[in-house]
């Protein structure tokens, strides 16, 4: 889908306090939590929340309204932003992550699977970037206390 490139470029741009929180957080978990808490101010039609189940952490996106035909774009774009953050700041092995989408395969399902460096599962019952919970304690070498506080 055309929007993967757009979303990847969007990830490189400044998103105000959300970007500062992501890059200056003490740990990966702190940064993801800040993203989940504050990014909905950019996308008020979506509720974001995180939860841990066993050894996995789910960064979930729950639409607050019917998103219709644009749902894949509006769900997958924030996932791309988080993916780029994990790649650029932490360099984690994203093959250990997964993407769960609550909608059926779209016309661009193969492009989706080719774009994301982790397994993608459609009709999963939720929209979530799933990462190992152990990643949450990874220290951010770029942590800046004065911008985090």
pTM of the complete model? 0.88
pLDDT tens by residue, the chain, 149 residues: 566 665 555 555 555 677 778 788 999 999 999 999 988 888 999 999 999 999 999 999 999 999 999 999 999 999 998 998 898 889 899 999 999 999 999 998 999 898 899 999 999 999 999 999 999 999 998 888 887 76
Residue 130 lies in a domain: yes
Question: Domain tally for the chain?
Answer: 1
Q: Are 93 and 116 in contact (CB under 8 A)?
A: no
Rounded CA Rg of the chain = 15
Residue 68 lies in a domain: yes
H and E: helices and strands count for the chain: 6, 5
Residue 61 lies in a domain: yes
Report the distance separating Cα 140 and Cα 75, nearest Å: 26
Residue 24 lies in a domain: yes
Q: Are 10 and 76 in contact (CB under 8 A)?
A: no
Residue 145 lies in a domain: no
Domain that holds residue 89: 3-137
């Amino acid at each position: 889908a055309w929007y993967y490139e757009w979303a990847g470029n969007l990830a490189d741009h400044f998103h105000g306090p959300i970007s500062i929180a992501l890059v200056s957080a003490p740990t990966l978990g702190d940064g993801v939590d800040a993203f989940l808490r504050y990014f909905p101010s950019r996308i008020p039609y979506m509720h974001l929340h995180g939860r841990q189940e066993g050894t996995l952490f789910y960064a979930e996106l729950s639409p607050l309204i019917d998103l219709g035909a644009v749902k894949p774009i509006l769900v997958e774009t924030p996932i791309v932003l988080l993916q780029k953050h994990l790649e650029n700041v932490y360099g984690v092995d994203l093959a250990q992550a997964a993407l769960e989408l609550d909608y059926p395969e779209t016309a661009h399902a193969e492009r989706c699977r080719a774009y994301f460096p982790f397994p993608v599962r459609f009709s999963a019952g939720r929209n979530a970037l799933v990462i190992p919970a152990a990643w949450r304690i990874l220290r951010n070498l770029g942590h800046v206390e004065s911008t985090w506080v």
